[in-house]
Amino acid sequence: MYNLAIIVCAFIFAFTSYQPAEVGANTFTAKQVRLGDNLLSILRQNGFSEKQREQVIAADKGLRTLFLTLDTRYLIRTTPTETELRIFDSQTSQAFRVLKKGARVEASSYQPKFTVKHTKAEGRVYGSLMGSLMAKVNSNWVATRFMDAYVFDMAHSRDVVRGARFSFTVERLYEANQFIKYGEVLNTSLDIRGIAVQKKFVRYKDGGVFFSAQDLLENRPFFAPVEYIKIASRFKPNRLHPITGRVQPHLGIDFELPVGDPVFAPRKGIIVRYGNNRAAGNFIVLLHSNGMETSYNHLHKIDKRIRQGLKVSAGEKIGEVGCTGYCTRAHLHFAVKKKGRMVDPVKYIKAYPPQMERYLEERVASN
């Protein structure tokens, strides 16, 4: 009986000792993207040869445009015979698997199955709004998304005074039980000119906008020309150009979106110019019934129907977001001209595209 007990204990010990080793060999570890990292440097750090790195880059077009920031992590799993990486674009839903088995490598996109958790933060503004937000959640993505919610509400930074209250709820995305990155900022509140303004992120198809019922009452002549409001650069008459390094006015607003995202006419109008030039890349200019012009630069594609004199309706697709001309990252440069003078677009456009108006009205009516 004593010998049988020893045998049983030995079996249990052997089984439980084996399990962690096996599980450990197949468990992913999260590593943070570091300053200066890109896909090639991450592959090099994890033992991929120069030839293997070239094979990975050639395997999928999306890997060549992968965008990484410091608040994103990637996953790594290693065994004696293979290394697997899962790498996530910081600002889109794109994700990629990279597998190395001996000298052979495989790389392809995949749809991650994120577990979503919510985190709420609140505080007061001391110093800049951006700095106060990042003091609560150390993420440039979260801070800029929060500020995107109020881009149409703040005429000047002085609208948010010292001590102004703010709060937000943000998604945290996990895969393989590891935190990967922050998702969408969902509910926000900010004191603007002493009044608490609340915005909710409303998803719509593949996009979404920050919205409050008050936005439906805004008397502005144009709808937003895109379905996802992510601002890369605002109207800045004295901006330092990112490519030339010279002081060069930025006379429009940049919506940062992936290549191929649709661009819509923000109001009924007529095509007065379109084509390609060195600075604007592929561009379109619309003249509207109110006498104002809107222009769309750096387009990936101009719709095949577009021709001079063509009449278009609000919400009609006219092109796709791209990075042609003087451009460092895919975006739509949207500009508004009034009485021959370029004006700040945020003062003239609504916070949502025309195809969302009825949907938002129904949401407000049901609440």
The CATH number given to whatever domain includes residue 366 is: 2.70.70.10
Query: Which structure tokens are listed for 363?
Result: 């949401």
pLDDT band at 22 (very low <50, low <70, confident <90, very high): very low
pLDDT in tens, 50-105: 999 999 999 998 898 899 999 999 999 999 999 999 999 998 889 999 999 988 99
Q: What is the pLDDT of residue 137?
A: 93
Q: What is the pLDDT of residue 240?
A: 66
Residue-range definition of the domain harbouring residue 144:
113-204
Specify whether 225 is located in the same domain as 274.
yes
pLDDT in tens, 284-320: 999 999 999 999 999 999 999 999 999 999 999 999 9
**Residue 357 placed within a domain:** yes
Which residue in the block uniquely carries the two structure tokens 């509400």? 153
Q: What is the pLDDT of residue 297?
A: 98
- 352 Cβ neighbours under 8 A, 6+ residues apart: 209, 211, 215, 223, 224, 360
Question: Of 109, 124, 159, which marks where a domain is finished?
Answer: 109
Q: Which is it for strands 73-78 and 29-32: parallel, antiparallel or unpaired?
A: antiparallel
Q: Are 223 and 318 in contact (CB under 8 A)?
A: no
CB atoms within 10 A of CB 48: 20
How many domains, the chain? Answer: 3
pLDDT band at 18 (very low <50, low <70, confident <90, very high): very low
pLDDT at 12 over 70: no
Question: Of 51, 81, 109, which marks where a domain is finished?
Answer: 109
Q: What is the pLDDT of residue 246?
A: 73
**Residue 255 placed within a domain:** yes
Residues above pLDDT 90, as percent of the chain: 77
Based on C-alpha coordinates, what's the Rg of the chain? Answer: 25
pLDDT at 334 over 70: yes
